[in-house]
Amino acid sequence: MKVTIFGAAGLVGKSLMHEWRDDQVIPLGSEDADLRSQSQVQDVVERTRPDWIVLAAAYTDVDGCESNKELAFDINCRGAVNVARAGKQFESKLIFLSTDYVFDGNKPSPYETNDPRAPQSVYGASKAEAEVQVLKIMPETCIVRTSWVFGAGGRCFPETILKLAFNKSEIDVVTDQRGCPTYTVDLARAIIHLCRNNAQGIVHTTNQGDCTWFEFAQEIVAAAGLPTKINPTTSDKLVRPAKRPKYSVLSSASLKQYQLTMPTWQDALERYLAERNFRLRTRHDPT
């Protein structure tokens, strides 16, 4: 099987490149093809002729999207449309990475794949519209919705908390937003499994369990053995440009259809910390 990955240098893309075995995998970055250019996307798909395309590239700065709406839609929506058109033209199958931010966060129970999209931010709106447009072009597309993604080697919530914890004795973290943390390694393995099983439709793909950002931060500092105190606060006291869903837990029912069971987020956090520590050691080891 031949696979082309858009966004191979990103947080998820790096894990995909590391985890994918026994297939021919072609990594693409923004220097290889600008998603906003239909001709560039078409040329690279024509050149690589993959069985599968994994679209993991996106403008993921949620707050930045609020002040750069045109750019957000250019990359996240129109870029996805360009990839879908190229995939259809050259008969490639497509996995499109999406987000829990397509929902409004008002549901009191886990979101199912057929729940209505109601994004509350520009980022969420750009991904929600991309889902709609991509499915029009390639109805057999597999849309992998995930949430609260973290991984070693890039910006993510645990990395931010750990850096703050080394310099502060106390950190304020919101306790009124609940979701599912997802480790890039586990997400990558799930995506690989979905490709190999010819998945179609929307699949909610997160680690097992849910928590608030406050609970996640508490677990991070505890697992890292740090004495930093995590104080609960609310979203109205830590105002951000983009509105976040207060509840965006994703149901695992669609994942189970493909015989996939993700590890718990606590287990994933332990492995993330081990990977992060290994990277830090090897970076500073002169041998």
What is the full DSSP assignment across 207-224?
-B--EEHHHHHHHHHHHT
| Per-residue DSSP letter, 101 | G
Query: Is 258 designated active site?
Result: no
Q: Which of 59, 101, 123, 183 is catalytic?
A: 123
Amino acid occupying residue 21? R
CA distance 4 to 14: 13
Q: Give phi and psi for 81, each to the nearest 5.
A: -65, -40
Which two three-digit tokens encode residue 56?
Answer: 């993991």
Nearest-Å Rg of the Cα atoms of the chain is 19
Which two three-digit tokens encode residue 245?
Answer: 């869903």
CB 81 within 8 A of CB 123: no
CB 152 within 8 A of CB 275: yes
Positions marked catalytic: 123
